[in-house]
Amino acid sequence: MGVQLPEVERVVGWPELASIARQAEAVGFDSVWVGDHYLYRDDGRPERGPWEAWTTLAGLAAATERVMLGPLVACIGFHAPAVLAKTATTVDEISRGRLTFGVGAGWNRAEFDAFGIPYDRRASRFEEAFGVIGRLLAGERVTFEGDFVTVRDAVLLPVPARRVPLMVGSTGERVLRAALPHADAWNTWFDAYGNAPDGFETLNAWVSGVAAGVGRDPDEVERSACVLVAIEGGRGERPSDPAAPHVSGSPAEIAAHLRALAHAGADEAIIVADPITEDSIVWLGGVLAALDA
């Protein structure tokens, strides 16, 4: 069971981020995740942005002891792919082997435009970049020249202690067809499946079909689902979406929802809590206890 740290619900400084992560570790969460975005604007809400994800993950790697860590998910277009692979293996080293390297193609055009990052042909860019990243993580020395990516005799040194596991976060077929032959896991955001077990079951079956279509045994790919959960007494920091309503209720009721999601095929649930505070993490500890009961 994982939890996402605050992103742009409000301005949260490093001391609170580290404290929430340590509290998540203390109550029994298995993983802690950080969104990878630069800027939100033009959506009818005030302009806002989170801290840079990889710097934050490096800090969390040093500030925690047990929980797995990862970007949810890293936009592959924000960095040169070989540099991104180097960054990921460095964070994995700092964490002593606790990183899951989540990747996606990105979607929020406002931040691409604001930071001068190309937005066009994102699936094509993902295909080339993911290929380079996967080969580098596998220990290869890589030379490649494509339409968007060029590397010449790139290699990761010092040699990473392990191959960092890759997770793809996407519902785009081209992105999935590029990633699923090599990815260890697939993740989906709650709005892609309506935040409901039956919706996840349908989407999950489709992903299995894509995996099989590219020659990958679907059972080899773990399934991860983000779940939007309203915490009792919460402030409503995340706007309600009728197409993907919050899961709410007592810890036992939320635990029952998570069991149904597991029955629908989810190997992992990542809680997106509304609100996300230390108190929320303590309250969610009751959900974890109900799951273990």
pLDDT at 281 over 90: yes
pLDDT computed for residue 122 by the predictor? 97
Q: Under 8 Å CB-to-CB from 6, ≥6 apart: which residues?
A: 12, 16, 17, 20, 50, 276
As a whole number, mean pLDDT of residues 281-285 equals 97
Q: Per-residue pLDDT for 236 more than 90?
A: no
* pLDDT beyond 90 at 43: no
pLDDT of residue 233: 67
- What is the model's pLDDT at position 237? 86
Least confident of 24-38, 91-105, 161-175, 224-238: 224-238
Residue 234 has pLDDT above 90, yes or no: no
Farthest-apart Cα atoms in the chain, separation:
55
Sign of CA pseudo-dihedral 260, 32, 90, 122 = positive
Rounded Cα gap, residues 180 and 170, in angstroms: 11
91-114: average pLDDT: 98
Q: Phi-psi region for residue 249, left (φ > 0), alpha (ψ -120 to 50) or beta?
A: left
Confidence of residue 268 (pLDDT cuts 50, 70, 90): very high
Q: Is the pLDDT of residue 7 over 70?
A: yes
CA distance 162 to 147: 30
Q: Which band of pLDDT confidence, cut at 50, 70 and 90, is reported for residue 91?
A: very high
pLDDT(59) > 70: yes
Give the tokens for residue 272: 């997106």
Please tell me the pTM assigned to this model. 0.96
pLDDT mean over 138-166: 98
For the cut 90, the answer to whether the pLDDT of residue 36 exceeds it is yes
What does the pLDDT read at residue 44?
A: 83
| pLDDT above 70: percentage of residues in the chain | 99
| pLDDT (average), residues 199-211 | 98
CA distances 71 to 127, 133, 153, 198, Å, are 19, 15, 27, 26
Predicted confidence at residue 42, as pLDDT, reads 85
Work out the mean pLDDT of the chain and round it to a whole number. 96
Tell me what the mean pLDDT of segment 146-163 comes to.
Answer: 98
